[in-house]
Structure 1
Amino acid sequence: MLDKLVVRKGYISYPVKLFKSFDISFIFDYLLYPIACVYYNQVTKSSNLFGILIKTLFFSVPMALVEHFFETRTSLINFKKGWNAFTSFYSMTFTFLMSRTFIAIIRKLPNKQIP
């Protein structure tokens, strides 16, 4: 959802599109990032706060670097209006931590089985 908002506001554009009807990066938004979030949540399942923060860097930094490479060396992504790789890093880190918080809350809920 965040990517759709950022594209609408004009911070990022995707000149090369898999599907012409999508303004967003379909593969990243619907395949790669959700899988990375699930894997991140599994990796940090039994970690303490420090471990969660460190492991977040192991996911966010490489993704931001790859995005920076795509922006500077290819025509797959165009950053506009002050958006850069650091902004991508911050937004990915934030969303990883938010998904981890949400899943931690879900895991704490009582596990009632339907008879």
Structure 2
Amino acid sequence: MEKIILWLLVIIGIILFVISFKKPPFKNWIIVFLLTSYFAEFLGVLVVEEKMLEYPKRFLSSYFSSSILYEYLLFPVVCVYFCQTTYTSKFLSIVFQCILYTSALTITEVFFEKNTDLIKYHSWTWMHTFISTFILMMFIRFLIQMINKKK
């Protein structure tokens, strides 16, 4: 069952990836996607190496100890959508939307942790996921805003 879920997530991720880059400005979304991938992989490896959580069933499991599907595709695509929907928003709206996106990701992760072998928490909790995802998404959002102001 886990392999089916992983392949469905790959397909959904690729479709969302293609759709997300149709909205201008294209360069912003590439930067957001790549920065999110970089930081997510860096933090993901730290968490897995510290044995705070593990991914018993992984996409390309023989090559990576962390979840490359989440860190290189799904989370960066969600972050692109977050940045797109908050592109012209004020601070409180950005925070509110970040809470919504982060909540959706956290609820999904908790569902997978409880009902599948895709992820297993050890010392990690849903609160760690929520806080780290929220901080990373806000960091990327304000980083792209700073990059755009330097023009």
TM over 0.5: yes
Q: Which of 41, 62, 66 matches 2:108?
A: 66
Q: What does residue 30 of structure 1 align with?
A: 72
Q: What does residue 103 of structure 1 align with?
A: 144
Code of the residue aligned with 1:102 in structure 2: it is L
SS in 1 for 2:89: coil
Q: Map 1:7-26 to 2 at 5 A.
A: 7-19=48-60, 20-26=62-68
RMSD of aligned C-alpha atoms?
A: 0.8
**Structure 1 or 2: larger helix share?**
2
Shift of 1:102: 0.7
Code of the residue aligned with 1:49 in structure 2: it is F
CA distance, structure 1, for counterparts of residue 70 and residue 58 of structure 2: 11
CA distance, structure 2, for counterparts of residue 18 and residue 42 of structure 1: 28
CA distance, structure 1, for counterparts of residue 115 and residue 93 of structure 2: 33
Residue deviations 1:72-111, cap 9 Å, x none? Answer: 1111101112x1111101110010001011101111012x
TM-score using structure 1 length = 0.91
Q: What percentage of residue pairs aligned between the two structures are identical?
A: 30
CA distance, structure 2, for counterparts of residue 8 and residue 73 of structure 1: 23
SS in 1 for 2:63: coil
- The number of residues matched between the two structures is 109
Find runs of 4+ consecutive structure 1 residues off by over 6 angstroms. Answer: none
| Structure number with larger C-alpha Rg | 1
Code of the residue aligned with 1:3 in structure 2: it is G
> 5+ unaligned residues in a row in structure 2: which ranges?
1-41
Q: What does residue 119 of structure 2 align with?
A: 77
Code of the residue aligned with 2:86 in structure 1: it is T
SS in 1 for 2:114: helix
TM-score using structure 2 length = 0.70
